[in-house]
Structure 1
C-alpha cells in the first residue's frame, strides 16, 4: 500500500516519475448529476471578433510579465483535475473522471480521462502531472510564488499508472480545502519542454523565460494559438469536434466558435467605433459612461446590437490604491492614514459611475463568506481626519499651490500610476478631491501589461490596481516578507510584519476551518490598520453588448459567471455561439434599412 512519507522522499518520487501502488478499498466518487448550463440549441462555427487594449508582453503563463495577458487560455481557464459547477458549486469532473480521498487528510487519488489530449494532439498522461511539480519548483521559470506554493503547499504528485495519480499536500487539510488545493492542479506538457539546455536536471530549459516568451505552449483546452501578429493581433483556433472534453457532459455545447480573433485596439473610443460598425462581434459595456450615454446610436435603436446585463455572486479580488511603503514619506503610517481619508472612492462611484459599482469593504476584496472580516469598512472620505493625520506626520504647512509641505520642504505629492486610459477621468476626480486635504496625486498612465510590469518591479509610489479573485483570500503573495522589496512579485505595498508573516504561515497550514476563518479576519484587520491599500470598488455583474447573431442560453448567468462572452483574455464559460443565419438576416436588413426591436436583457436572478 502506498503511504505518504516525508517531503524529501515524495519529491524524489516526483522527479523520477516512479509509479506507486494503488491502495485497495478506496471509495471512488464522481458527479455527473448536476444540471448542465450550456444550451443544446448552440451551433458550432464562425470566428468571434473581439479586441485587446494592449498586446501581451509574453505568451507564457508563468514567469515575468505573465500576470497580464492571455494566461486564461493557457492556465487559468483550462481544465484541471476537477472544477466547481458554476451554480451548485459542487465538484464536477474535468480531466479527472473519479476521485478518492486517502483518509490521511493530505492525499486524493484521481483517475484521469484516458481520452484527454493536449491541443497539439499528444496524449495527456500522469507523467504530465508529475512534470508539473518539477516545472513549478524550477528556478528557471523565475516565478517565486509558484516555487513557494508548489514546495510548501503541494507535497507531491505520484504516478500510479498512466491514468491514475495521487496528489498530496504538505500539511493536513479538511476535505473541502484539500480538494480545492489539489483538485485544481493543471498539468504541464512534458513533451513540449523536453528539449533544451537543462544543466540542473529539473526538466526546464535554463533559458526558459526568453525561449518561451512568444512560444505558446499546448494546453488541455479547446483552443490553441493559430496566428500571432506581434503588436497587432492574436488568433486562437478550436481543436475541433473531436476535442476530448466533449465526452464530458459539462463541456458539451460550449466553446462553440471555430476561431477567436483578438485585435489590439488601444483607444476605448476607437474600439467602440469598430464594434458599432460591425468589425467586432462583442464589446464590454462595464463603463457607466458607455452603457448609459453611448449605447443610443442607430445600431442599438434599430436592434442590430443588443445589450446584456447579468448579475453574479463571484468572489471579488483585492484592489484599489496600493501604497509602496518602501518609498520615502509613504513609510510613515500617518501619511498613509491621511491618504486613506483623502481618497474619495465613494464620491467617484456616485458621481462618475452612477452608483453602478459598489465600494470594496476591504483591501482584500469581498464575497469570501466566513473568511471576510465582518467589521470591515472602507475608510470614509473625510478632509478633517486626513488633515489631522498629515499634521501628525509633520506636513503642517500649506504651500502657495495648496499642497502641504513639511519642515524639510518636502511636498505631500505622489505619483499615481494607473494602467488604462479610460481610468483617467476617475483618477482625475481622485486627484481633485485629494487637493482639498493638501495632497497631490501626479497622474501617470502606463499602458496595460507594461504598467503591471512597472508595478510588480516596485517602481511606483502609488498604483491603482484591481486583482482577480480566488475562492478564498490569499495573503502570501501580497503581504508576506518573502515578497517584499523583490521584483516580479505581487507585494505591491512592500508591507510586511513578523506578526503578519506568522499569521500567513499559520493560515496556509491550518486544518481547522474555523481557526482559518479567524486567522483571515485577523489578517484583514492588520492590513486595514496598516493603511497600505485604499479599497476601490467591486463590480458584481457583467455588462456587454453584442450583435444580434451572438446567441446565449435561455438562462445565461450562473452564480460564478464573470463574463458572458469572451472579452480579451477572459474566456468565461463560453456558452455563447454565433448564428450564421441570423448574421445574414441582420446584414441583409442593414442593406435594406430594415429594423428590429431594440433589446436589452437584464438577468438579475443573482442580484
Structure 2
C-alpha cells in the first residue's frame, strides 16, 4: 500500500531520530486492522478450573532475558504473550493484539501503530507508548547481559517514536517489504513488545542507562508483569510454579480474536523429573494432560486401563508450523571438529533415517536441512538430508588422517587420537535414539559417547559452548534467522551460535541477507547461506514432528476441529489456548470411577492440516 503525506517524509524521519520526542503523526496514513478474519475459538468454552501440568526441572531463572533465560519460563513472559499484531493461525493475515491498527510509511522501514488504550499490565498499570520507549532502553542495555537482544535492538531496530500516549512508530534499520517489517516487529522470540518501566525501575539513581546495574541477580526469581491473561502467582522454588488468570475482565477479551480463549483460571506446573513417574501421576488423575508424541508412549503406553475405560482420551493433530534448525550441531571450536573432513565424516556416519525407522517407528520425518524448513522461497528447493553412508564417511576420516583402526574398531590418527565425540542432550527419552546413532557410527570407525545433562542445564551447557556435539532442535520463524546461528560476531558463550562457526565469507553473505530489501534477491542469498552450511557440514539434519499427540482426561474440551495450521500444543496457555475444562464432566467422570462405571474409549485424529 502507498501512503500519502501532507508534508515531506523527511520531516518525519528527522523526528524518528529522537525517540522520546513527541513527533507529529503523518496525515493520510492508511490504517489496517483486519477485523474480519474467521474466528477459531468456540463460544461453548467455559471459564474456570486449574490446568495441572508438569516440567522436568525447575528453571534457573524467571527472567525473560539474560543468562539462562532461554531455558526457563520465558514463553509465559515473552514468547506467548500479546505482540502488536499476530498472524491469523489459518489465513496468515495480520490481526490485532496490543495494537488496534497499523500503517506503513513509504520509506519501507517504518510502521505506525495505534495501541489499544484498554491494554493493561497484569499488575493493573496501563500499557502506553512510554513502555515501548523503555523497551528500547531495556534491550540495548549491557546490564541485561544478553548479546542477542543488545544486537537486535541496536542493529535491527533503529528507533521507536512516541506520537501520543497510544500511538508509536517503530523504524527498522534496513528497508524491508511490508510483510517482513511485520514479521520482524512481531516475531514471538525477538522481544519487541513493551517492557514495564514501573517494574524495572533501578534501585539507585546512578544507573546511567536507566537499567539496574545488578539487573541479572535482582530479577533472577521475580515474575515480571505481562500483558497476557496470566501472571505468576506463586513460586515454590524447586517444586512448582502457579500462574493465575487476570480475570474475565482481562483487557484482551475486548478483541474478538481473543474471546473464548485462555479459559482456565490457573495453571499449576509441578516439577516431576522423571517422565515415567509423571505419566503415572497423570493416569492417577493428578495431572490433566500429558504429551504422548514419543512413539513408545502413543503406541504402547496409552493402552492401560484408564484409556480402555474411557476416562482418558487421545488426540493426534497435524499442523503446518515452521520447522526450526535442529539435529546434531558440531562445535567447530573443539579439537578435531574444526576439520571439515571430520565433520563430513560425522555427517555420513550419523544414521538419522535408520533411527526414525527402527527407533521411532517411522512416525517422525527427516529434516531436509539442518537449518529447518517451511520457509517457502527461502528454503533450498528439492534439498535432501545426507544419507547414512559409512564407507563415504570412512573416506573423509582417512583424509583427516584417521587411517588406523584401534582394537575396539574406532579410528585413530598418527598422534594416537581416537575418533570419539560426546553427544550432549537433555532429555532422557532421547537416550535410545542416540544409542542407535552410537551403534551405527561404529561402522565408520566413529565413537559417539552419550552426555545426558539434566533438563535446562543441558541448554546452559550448550550455550556456554562446552559441548562437542549437541543433539538439539531450536524454534524457527517464517523468515529464517541466520545471524544468531552463523555469524562470527555471535561465536561466543551465551549465544545461539551452537557451532561456534566463524567465516568471513559467511559473515558477508549474512550481512547481505540482512540488508537486502528485494524478497527474491533475499531468498537467493538465503540459498547461498544454506548451501554453505551444507558444504561445511555444520549440522547433521535431524528429524521433525509436524503434529502434536496428547492424552487428556475427558473433562478437557476443545473446538472441533481442534487444530489450526499453527497449533503446536493443544493444551497450553502459551499457544492458542482454545481449550477449556468442563467441571460438570469432571464431576461426572470422578463419580463414574468411584462406581466402576466406564465410557467408550476415544481417539481423535485431526488431519485437517496434514500435508
Whether these two folds match at TM > 0.5 is: yes
Name the count of aligned residue pairs. Answer: 600
- Is 2:539 aligned against 1:533? yes
Q: Please say if residues 15 and 23 of structure 2, whose CA atoms lie closer than 8 Å, have aligned partners that are also in contact.
A: no
Q: Which residue of 2 aligns with 1:383?
A: 390
| Residue 361 (1) aligns with residue 368 (2) | yes
Report the CA distance shift for 1:277/1:373 in structure 2 as closer, same or farther (over 3 A): same
The CA deviation at 1:2 is 8.4
State whether structure 2 residue 238 is matched by structure 1 residue 231: yes
Residue number in structure 2 paired with 1:260: 267
Asked if structure 1 preserves the Cα contact closer than 8 Å seen for 2:404 and 2:412, the reply is yes
Contact 2:329–2:470 (8 Å) recurs in 1: yes
1:600 equivalent in structure 2? 603
How far residue 253 of structure 1 moved from its aligned partner, in angstroms, is 0.4
Instruction: Tell me the residue number matched to 1:374.
Output: 381
Answer yes or no: is the 8 Å Cα contact 1:542–1:563 preserved in 2: yes
What is aligned with 1:468?
475
Report the Cα offset of residue 9 of structure 1.
7.7
Q: Which residue of 2 aligns with 1:62?
A: 65
Contact 1:565–1:571 (Cα < 8 Å) also in 2? no
Q: Matched residues in 2 for 1:6 and 1:422: separation?
A: 56
Name the SS for the 1:250 alignment partner.
Answer: helix
1:3 Cα shift? 4.8
Shift of 1:252: 0.4
Deviations 1:88-110 (A, max 9, x none): 01000001001111211111111
Q: Of 581, 584, 589, which residue of structure 1 is paired with 2:584?
A: 581
- Match for residue 43 of structure 1? 46
Please list every run of 5 or more consecutive structure 2 residues that lacks an aligned counterpart in the other structure.
1-6
Q: Is the 8 A contact 1:454 1:460 kept in 2?
A: yes
Aligned to 2:4: none
Could you tell me how far apart the structure 2 residues matched to 1:495 and 1:137 are? 25
Q: CA RMSD in A?
A: 1.4
Matched residues in 1 for 2:609 and 2:444: separation?
A: 39
Distance 2:196 2:380 in 1: 40
Residues 10 and 306 (structure 1 numbering): CA distance in 2 closer, same or farther, change over 3 Å? Answer: same
Cα deviation 1:190-211 (Å, max 9, x = unaligned): 1111232364522211111111
Please state if 1:294 is matched with 2:301. Answer: yes
Residue 346 of structure 1 aligns with which residue?
Answer: 353
Shift of 1:376: 2.1
Counterpart pick for 1:191 among 192, 198, 204 = 198
Q: TM-score when scaled to structure 2? A: 0.96
C-alpha deviation, 1:290, in angstroms: 0.4
Matching residue of 1:564: 570
Distance in 2, matches of 1:3 and 1:241, equals 43
- Please tell me whether residue 515 in structure 1 is matched to residue 521 in structure 2: yes
Say whether 1:272 aligns with 2:279: yes
1:591 aligns with 2:594: yes
Distance 2:202 2:405 in 1: 63
- Are the aligned partners of 1:2 and 1:20 in contact in 2 as well (CA < 8 Å)? no
1:177-216 to structure 2, matched below 5 A, reads 177-184=180-187, 185-197=192-204, 199-216=206-223
The partner residue of 1:440 within 417, 425, 447 is 447
Alpha-carbon distance, 1:503 to partner:
1.0
Aligned to 1:170: 173
Counterpart of 2:114 in structure 1 is 111
Whether the aligned pair in 1 keeps the contact of 2:557 and 2:580 (CA below 8 Å) is yes
- 1:250/1:192 CA distance change after superposition, 3 Å: same
1:547 maps to which residue? 553
**Which of 251, 274, 293 pairs up with 1:244?**
251
Mapped partners of 1:528, 1:5: distance in 2: 47
Q: Is the 8 A contact 2:12 2:23 kept in 1?
A: no
The residue aligned with 2:411 is 404
Q: Which deviates the most, 292-301 or 148-157?
A: 148-157
Of 171-180 and 548-557, more deviation after overlay is shown by 171-180
Q: Deviations over 1:342-383 (max 9, x none)?
A: 101000000111111100010110111100011422111111
Q: Tell me if 1:491 matches 2:497.
A: yes
Shift in CA distance, 4/571, structure 1 to aligned 2, threshold 3 Å: farther
In the alignment, the residues of structure 2 paired with residue 403 and residue 4 of structure 1 have an alpha-carbon distance, to the nearest angstrom, of 67
1:156 equivalent to 2:150? Answer no
Residues 453 and 2 of structure 1, relative CA distance in 2, 3 Å threshold: farther
Distance 1:340 1:60 in 2: 36
Change (3 A) 1:104 1:525: same
Q: 1:102 aligns with which of 105, 108, 112?
A: 105
